[in-house]
Amino acid sequence: MSEDRGVAQALPDDVAALADVPADKGEVHVVHLYPREMSIYGDLGNTRCLAARLRWHGYRPVVHDHHPGAPWPERADIILGGGGQDSGQVRVTEDLARHADRLRELALDGLPMLMICGMYQLFGEAFITVEGQRLPGLGILDVTTRGNATRMIGPVVLDTDFGSVVGYENHSGSTVLGEGQQPFGRVRHGRGNNGSDGHEGARTGNVVGSYLHGPVLPANPALADGLLEVAARRATGGWFPAEVDDTVADRAHRAQVRRLLGS
């Protein structure tokens, strides 16, 4: 499987082998948007994490890499996107516009999506450049981002509906929530959307936007499973998680919380 344009990827056998249960609970299709252009800060790790956890829970993961210009995958039960550079964003905007209506419909329909950093911004209402130019986004999340001279960089701890979440932010855009837009989390350490209102990310239905890299899912298994539960219910009609050994993830998570919050 060399140039797998839009083709499903397999999970490495050795990772699958960590599961104690057979993969007999059904297929769940994971779509990663623009893994080349919009995943330069390790956000591919989120996709890897979901695929592995699906298998460990007894489901069969099918991962589709969606590249610009390629046909839309035959099935999507959960969609992921990551951060990129300016040049990467330019490369994906045309394709994103082509699938805009579809993505808005899927979001309304309750499909779980996790959009990090650059893709979070593109899922918002608009991005306003330093020069004042207004670039419209998909409008799935009611957030507006302004280009900023200073970068917000560093480790982050949040309180969210999925419990505490740790990660790493690295963004120059400053994002403000529209009226009534829920944040993804409240900042306990770090800067968040804009460094002033204590909000991080945005959440509408099952769509989560966030600045957190890390990547965010491996060290926050409750968030990963929260998204997977919705995906598995849509795909298979139920959610029957297996017991997954998360000792290492919990220790990594706790080490960061203790270090950054001192508790």
Partner 1 sequence: MRTSLALAAGKGTRALSRLRGGGSALPGLVTERLDPAVLRHTLGALPRGVVVVSGTNGKTTTTKMLVALLRAHGLRVFTNPTGSNFTRGVISSLLGEVGLSGRLDADVAVVELDEAHALHFSAQVPPAHSLLLNVARDQLDRFAEIDHTARLLTTLAEQTTGGVVLNADDSFVSRIRGHVGDGVQVRWFGVDPSIAERLPELQEADVRYEDAEQAREPGPGDGLLLPEEDGRAFTVRFVGDPDADVGPLTLRQRGLAAMINATAATATARHLLGPSFSAPTAARALEAVAPPFGRGEVIDVDGAPLELVLVKNPAGFTVALGTYGTEPVATMVAINDNYADGRDVSWLYDVSFDSLRERGVALTSGVRAWDMALRLRYDGVEVDHVEQDLDVALDRFLGDHRGRPMRIFCTYTAMMHLRRRLADRFALARFGEDPDA
Per DSSP, which regions of 48-151 are E strands? Answer: 60-66, 78-81, 113-116, 126-128, 134-136, 143-146
Query: Does 117 interact with Zn ion (rule: CB under 5 A)?
Result: yes
Residues in 72-111 that interact with Zn ion by CB under 5 A: 83
Q: Which does 191 bind (CB under 5 to 8 A by kind): partner 1, Zn ion, none?
A: none
Q: Which does 154 bind (CB under 5 to 8 A by kind): Zn ion, partner 1, none?
A: partner 1
CA proximity to 29, closest of 53, 64, 55, 57: 64
The Cα 247–Cα 78 span in angstroms is 26
Q: Which range, of 15-23, 51-59, 162-170, 198-206, touches Zn ion by CB under 5 A?
A: 162-170
Give whichever of 106 and 117 is closer to partner 1, judged by the CB atom: 117
Q: Which range, of 12-20, 30-38, 116-124, 243-251, touches Zn ion by CB under 5 A?
A: 116-124
Give whichever of 133 and 150 is closer to partner 1, judged by the CB atom: 150
Return all residues near 200 (Cβ < 8 A) that are at least 6 apart.
Answer: 156, 158, 169, 183, 184, 185, 186, 187, 190, 192, 193, 210, 211, 212
CB of 107 to partner 1, least distance (A): 26
CB of 208 to partner 1, least distance (A): 18
CB of 35 to partner 1, least distance (A): 7
Query: Does 152 interact with Zn ion (rule: CB under 5 A)?
Result: no
The Cα 232–Cα 230 span in angstroms is 6
Give whichever of 76 and 217 is closer to partner 1, judged by the CB atom: 217
Cα dihedral 53, 59, 62, 65 in deg (nearest 10): -30
Using omega within 30 degrees of 0 as the cis cutoff, is the peptide bond preceding 215 cis?
yes
DSSP type of residue 21: S
Q: Which does 66 bind (CB under 5 to 8 A by kind): Zn ion, partner 1, none?
A: none
CB of 190 to Zn ion, least distance (A): 12
Output the residue with the shortest Cβ distance to Zn ion. Answer: 117
Query: Does 209 interact with Zn ion (rule: CB under 5 A)?
Result: no
Give whichever of 43 and 77 is closer to partner 1, judged by the CB atom: 43
CA proximity to 207, closest of 105, 71, 88: 105
The DSSP element (H or E) to which 222 belongs, if any, is helix 221-236
CB of 88 to partner 1, least distance (A): 8
Determine the residue type at 251.
R
